[in-house]
Each structure stands twice: as structure tokens, then as C-alpha cells.
Amino acid sequence: MRDNILRLENLQVHFPLKGGLFDRVLGRSAGAVRAVDGIDLNVEPGETVALVGESGSGKTTVGRVITKLVQPTGGKLLFDGEDMTSVRGSSALRPYRHRVQMIFQDAYQALNPRHTVFDIVAEPLRSLRLVKDNQLSERVREALSAAGLNPPDEYVARFPHELSGGQRQRVVIAGALAVKPELIVADEPVSMLDVSIRAQILQVLVDLRQQQNMALLFITHDLPVAWLIADRIAVLYLGRVVEIGSADEITFNPKHPYTVALRNATPQIGVSENRGELPALQGEVPSAARIPTGCRFHPRCPLAFSRCRDEDPPAVEVEPRHLSACWLAK
Ligand SMILES: Nc1ncnc2c1ncn2[C@@H]1O[C@H](COP(=O)(O)OP(=O)(O)OP(=O)(O)O)[C@@H](O)[C@H]1O
Ligand SMILES: [Mg+2]
């Protein structure tokens, strides 16, 4: 097996809850939001892994840990074999920022409205001092072109408000690409775009990783999108990976009742033979400040039995490289 470029070991991010007046007067802790609650995940060089789950499952928080925007409260973050968990400070992180880039959901927020497209894409190259001044222009144009903004000269002098939503997202992608990272974390990069533009941007990402051998951690709540783009899919529920396997396995042979329900909730791939086996998802995701005992999915699981209420199921291999954390998995 190839070495991993990224490895998360029992990663945890618990945010302290701000208590009410009573808690503060009595000096007692108000508990914590367990946004990420023990995640194990590997990404190989050049591999695309999709992180899928409902709102609040901890996807963005995982991405923010990997890009060092949030400090984990437990577990480890390893990049290319190096323990990055406790590395802090901009100069210590400079080489890492060169190797790992994040693309955010909302391109409009991510772009400085007073900077031109050229300056936006050039900014990380300048601040990381990656290229000489005389190479800057070529590198920026190359990235814009790779992100599908052609010819790049048409775009370099524009400001964000002079672009469409899809073009803005391409500028954000170009900014990440210009650095030539080994890993991109893309947090719902297409969810705010309309369907036709979505497919084009996904295609840009698919082409790029083939050309540049760049690993991609693709965050989405949309299982069909994950299937389209990823080699493997990790299904997140309340801060934990409940199932992981190849994109085909997770989509067409899901084992965890949560994944089955997610799939059945998706009309495009809620294909007939398994439909009706389990009802679509019931109820809402519980608060990450009150994670249920035992299997965290049990209050919503139509197959739950007594053990599920008391004991947390470990992830077990149900097929080669396909793991499911369910007491019924075998
Ligand atoms: N800075 C913070 N302080 C306290 N709680 C937080 C913080 N950031 C996130 N959370 C909580 O952590 C949990 C996971 O949030 P996160 O944004 O990672 O979910 P998500 O899967 O990305 O959801 P979405 O699909 O809606 O973007 C949520 O319950 C959220 O309220
Ligand atoms: Mg999110």
C-alpha cells in the first residue's frame, strides 16, 4: 500500500459550551460541542476522498483542522508522515500552507472585493514567496487557465463583482492551484452554484487531479456528487466516520443503516432493489452537545436493538477496504 499523504488518528475537536449565568456563578462546566469526536481517516497521494454527511456532522471542522484553522482537542494530524498536530505560528506553518490548500463554499466571501483577479491568485504565491517576480504572471495565468478561465487575460484585471458566481468559484480554485499543493480540501465548492455550472467545476477538479497527482478531500452533503468525484467516500455522522469504502461500494453496497438511509433519500441513486428495505431518514441530527449513548445513530435507526443503546460499535471490515461501524455489520 502507498504511504498516506494525510492521516487523522482519533481526531477530536470539542468546543466548550458557553454556559448560562448559573454555570458561570457556580464555576461549573457547561459541557462541550463534540463537533469531531474520534475520526480516523487516511488519504493517499493523488487520491480523492469525499466526506459526506448531513449538516452539523463535523465536515467543515475536519477541513479546518487539516488546514490548521482550528486546533484539535485530541488525537493526531499527520501529513506525509510528519506530526502536524501541535505545529503553530505562521512561519512554522509556511511550508505546510504551501502543501495544503482549502477551497471554501462561498466564493464571494473568500474573495477580497478590492483586489483584482490577478492579485487574488497571486496573493498566496507572494506571501509564501513561492515564485520570482518575473514568473508570477505566468504562474497566475496558468492557474486561471487550469481552473477553466480562458483566455486568462480576459479575467486578470477584473474585480470579483465583475464575475459570475461560477467564475468566482473558479478564481478561488485557481488561487489554490497556483500554489501547486499536494492536498486540496474543498468544502462544498459547488453547492452554491446552479446545476450546469456545478458539473463544469467538478470536471475541472477531476481533470486537475489526474494531471497534477494532487490529493483532494472533497466535502459535500450530496452522495451522488461524492460518487462522481471520489475514489473513496467517508460517511460522517455526529463527528464520527460511520462507514468508509470505495465510492462504488458506499453508493451501491452500503452497509451502515445511516448510509442506506442517506442513499434512499437521494432520488437519483435510491435504486429499486434496496428501496423499501429501510425507510428514509427520520427526525433530525441530534445536537453535537448531546451525543446519544452507545451507537450515536441509534435514536434514528430503524434497526436499533438494545446493544446499540449501550455500546459504541467499532468500525469493522465488511468487504476489503470497506468498514462500517454498526453492530449488525459483518
Ligand atoms: N467555533 C465553534 N464553536 C462551537 N461550536 C461549533 C463551532 N464550529 C462548529 N461548531 C459546531 O460543531 C458542529 C459541526 O459543525 P460543522 O460546521 O463542522 O458541520 P458541517 O458538517 O460542516 O455542517 P454543514 O453541512 O451545515 O456545513 C455543529 O454542531 C456546529 O454547531
Ligand atoms: Mg460545513
Is the CB of 220 inside a 6 Å radius of any atom of ligand 1?
no
pLDDT at 226 over 90: yes
Shortest-distance Cα residue to atom 2 of ligand 1 = 15
- Residue 279 banded pLDDT, cuts 50, 70, 90: low
Cα–Cα distance for residue pair 125/73, rounded to 1 Å: 31
> CB burial class (10 A; 0-12, 13-18, 19+) of residue 183?
buried
Answer for the pair 150, 67: CB distance below 8 angstroms, yes or no.
no
Is the CB of 96 inside a 6 Å radius of any atom of ligand 1?
no
Is the CB of 59 inside a 6 Å radius of any atom of ligand 1?
yes
286-306 pLDDT tens trace: 999 999 999 999 999 999 999
- Residue 2 banded pLDDT, cuts 50, 70, 90: low
Whole-number Å distance, alpha carbon 330 to ligand 2 midpoint, is 31
Least confidently predicted of 38-42, 94-98, 109-113, 189-193: 189-193
Cα–Cα distance for residue pair 269/195, rounded to 1 Å: 17
Answer for the pair 174, 149: CB distance below 8 angstroms, yes or no.
yes
- Per-residue pLDDT, 274: 46
Is the CB of 221 inside a 6 Å radius of any atom of ligand 1?
yes
Shortest-distance Cα residue to atom 1 of ligand 1 = 15
Whole-number Å distance, alpha carbon 270 to ligand 1 midpoint, is 28
Is the CB of 55 inside a 6 Å radius of any atom of ligand 1?
yes
Please tell me the number of the ligand nearest to residue 52's CA: 1
Domain boundaries, the chain: 6-46+53-111+185-193+214-324
117-129 pLDDT tens trace: 999 999 989 988 8
Whole-number Å distance, alpha carbon 65 to ligand 1 midpoint, is 12
| Ligand 1 atom nearest to CA at 57 | 21
Share the mean pLDDT of the chain.
89
Calculate Rg over the CA atoms of the chain.
Answer: 21
Given this structure, which CATH class describes domain 6-46+53-111+185-193+214-324? alpha beta
Q: Given ligand 1 and candidates 57, 66, 237, which is best to mutate, with the most ligand atoms within 8 Å of its CB? A: 57
- Per-residue pLDDT, 203: 86
Cell of 292: 446519544
Q: Which of 57, 76, 65, 58 is nearest to 11 (CA)?
A: 76
42-66 pLDDT tens trace: 999 999 999 999 999 999 999 999 9
- Residue 275 banded pLDDT, cuts 50, 70, 90: very low
Whole-number Å distance, alpha carbon 281 to ligand 1 midpoint, is 20
- Per-residue pLDDT, 277: 53
Is the CB of 53 inside a 6 Å radius of any atom of ligand 1?
yes
Whole-number Å distance, alpha carbon 60 to ligand 1 midpoint, is 7
| Pair type for strands 82-83 and 316-319 | unpaired
Return all residues near 326 (Cβ < 8 A) that are at least 6 apart.
242, 243, 255, 256, 257, 295, 313
| Ligand 1 atom nearest to CA at 289 | 29
- What is the pLDDT averaged over residues 250-256? 95
105 versus 279: the higher-pLDDT residue is 105
Is the CB of 57 inside a 6 Å radius of any atom of ligand 1?
yes
Tell me which H or E stretch contains 258: helix 257-264
Whole-number Å distance, alpha carbon 240 to ligand 1 midpoint, is 13
Cα–Cα distance for residue pair 284/304, rounded to 1 Å: 16
Q: Which of 50, 102, 62 is nearest to 243 (CA)?
A: 50
Answer for the pair 35, 239: CB distance below 8 angstroms, yes or no.
yes
